[in-house]
Chains A and B, each alone.
Chain A
């Protein structure tokens, strides 16, 4: 259907020397002039430059062009540029079509004649298509002025603080009883050996007290609906069995609880906690939770109530039920972090088999002043080790487990080596494949620890065994590796082995990804929109990523990303409105037979069935324009605007004729 008389302008770009010498631009111009409805065809050195755009604008105004074709580079690069030029000159931006004769022709074709012929075909196709373009308009919608942050590690806390500081209401949802994440478990952080608690605790307190932050710990997001600017989230608050408003955090209940032998998750099961517990002394909020699986009253229906009896504040409430909270937000920041790889299946490292083999997180707790040994590095026997081995790349850089480099374990291993030397004077062997220390002051830190006399052995450990080479080492562990720099097989007897386990996505992060409509990569990390140019945005508008949920990273990078995500979210909110997509599906009610095939194929649940009229209807806010419905619709009722059958088939026909 062509309405007014078509006047198409065609512009062939030289792209300096990128198109012109290979494609005979002049010939293409002459060819274009002969195509139907072409009012003018021109060539120019750089179409995307200001003078190039002016050319188009002038022609639209002076010649009354109502369609524009530019044959140049990839639409990924400059489609927005030229659409904007059209719009400025007064025609609908969708009256524009681009032919990619650079990436798809001049750069990939050896023969100049062939490249020219291909360019002609592509121009003909674009001209044929643009004739059927329709004007499309988007709508502006108001944005909710609040932000949901999922995950309260250092990433989530920082995002929340930055966003809240800029004046927006923030809901911070953390599934554990306290915020803090992994960093709360550390004592010192590389490379500067800052005390983790000293830099972290103030942030935790800020989060707990910020007037713009509503902290929802022991909570999970169970559903998220809506679209950029207008999300509706449902939050489940798990019952703590302690009233947060009444509890003063005195801790008496924990002292009185008779169930004391529950392995503490926070201490990596190296010490015990009670049934009513707060994971660690600096927890925020301080309100404890009752473990319903272990509490005598809740789990076994037996008498106890010691906590209740001794709580002066009367905060214990066995009747608490799960609560659901509905909130509306304009943007979501996901910061669900990571977990460490469980080394049990790497049996050759003996984790779980030999008591003196620790994971790095266990070591962090051993080394922590609030940990099971009050910060003394001790073996299970209570004695300090004399020889310690640290094994890099456990589960990382291993195609059978995680093929990638986990990025932080080299540095934390070096940190461990330093701490062991400092606290125990033990001899330390680090077995590494490569030392990866790209960061400010990282190499300096490595160098310093080398000077402290740590043995760095370049070789991945083959096994940790309790079979000693010499009888006097009986009872010790032997670490077997090749020093690949000297080609010497090494069998080193040690007292303690630390496994520098890699990072993998947190449990449940796939569920969170599905919830917010973001895809995950092959390894399970949430995928950003663009690794370099949009590292905290996602393909789903209004959803941002911060910290390790996007991939392994250290604290400096995590914090930088957290601030970036908060900035992006705030900039979205401060704009006040969002515009709807234009290239979305439309179901023609006159053609729709009501078969509902489309409902089943739409991955975004963007189609509803209008039983009254007996037809399906697209929700234009939810529709992403994927076209699954249009391809599936047996009546040809559904079609994606700007990708209609007519448009695609005209393009094809022009190529084949």
Chain B
């Protein structure tokens, strides 16, 4: 799909047009706890989008680093809901198949959502196991931690299954929500 179209799609999401007010001050990127890992940071992402460089924006790892701490939202002088735009970029990059392959968080989220889909709830151990298949090193690092938790009777592998798990599993995927903003 061409970048112009993607840009339009982005602008037509719930908060998309808000980035037009961004004054590129960098407060968001400076406030972000994981800014050091981000190639672009939120500010630069918005500049990319406004320039129509949608490939760069959608393939960027930056949104996946976002830990949803709201620090940027709290401080943005233009009241731009940065975090919602991060969510939006992540969803769009999934929809258009541009999720950065090298990034680990998409796998973590997938592990998480699989657990929810199967059981309706999660346990950390279950998420770790799902995730560990793809990232054994991370999982391995955590084995000693797991043992410590086990010692303190704090490790549950299977989450308690709930009756509603079938309902959760059958929810349609990827349905669009339009919000009044």
Contacts and interface: CB of A to CB of B under 8 A. Distances in A.
A/B touching: CB–CB < 8 A: yes
B27 A462 contact: yes
B171 to A, nearest CB: 37
Contacts of A433: 23-25
Interface stretch (A83-91, A111-119, A477-485): A477-485
A462 B31 contact: yes
Contacts, number: 67
Contacts of B41: 482, 487, 489
Nearest to A396: B77
Contact of B24 (A462, A463, A484, A489): A484
A348 B75 contact: yes
A461 interface: yes
Interface string A389-422: 0000100011110000000000000000000000
Contacts of B25: 393, 397, 433, 459-460, 484
Contact of A487 (B27, B31, B44, B78): B44
Interface string A489-523: 11000000000000000000000000000000000
Interface residues of A, number: 21
A482 B27 CA distance: 7
A434 to B, nearest CB: 8
B75 A482 contact: no
A489 B30 contact: yes
Interface size, B (range): 20 to 34
Contacts of B39: 487
A480 B30 CA distance: 6
Nearest to B79: A399
B30 A481 contact: yes
Interface string B25-36: 111011100011
B77 A482 contact: no
B77 A398 contact: yes
A490 B30 CA distance: 8
A480 B31 contact: yes
Contacts of B79: 399-400
A481 B29 CA distance: 8
Interface in B84-99: none
Contact of A482 (B23, B35, B71, B78): B35
Given A399-B77, A459-B30, A462-B30, A487 B40 contact: yes
Contacts of B24: 433, 484
Nearest to B78: A399
B27 A460 contact: yes
Contacts of B44: 484, 487
Interface in A116-175: none
B43 interface: yes
B23 A484 contact: no
A484 B43 contact: yes
Interface string A433-465: 100000000000000000000000011111100
Contacts of A483: 26
Interface in B15-53: 23-27, 29-31, 35-36, 39-41, 43-44
Contacts of B36: 489
B48 to A, nearest CB: 12
Nearest to B42: A482
Nearest to A490: B30
Given A393-B25, A462-B26, 19 more contacts: A348-B75, A393-B77, A399-B78, A433-B25, A459-B30, A460-B26, A461-B30, A462-B27, A462-B30, A462-B75, A463-B75, A481-B27, A482-B26, A482-B29, A482-B30, A484-B24, A484-B25, A489-B30, A489-B41
17 contacts: A393-B25, A399-B77, A458-B26, A460-B26, A460-B30, A460-B77, A461-B27, A461-B30, A462-B26, A462-B27, A462-B31, A463-B31, A482-B27, A484-B25, A484-B44, A487-B39, A489-B36
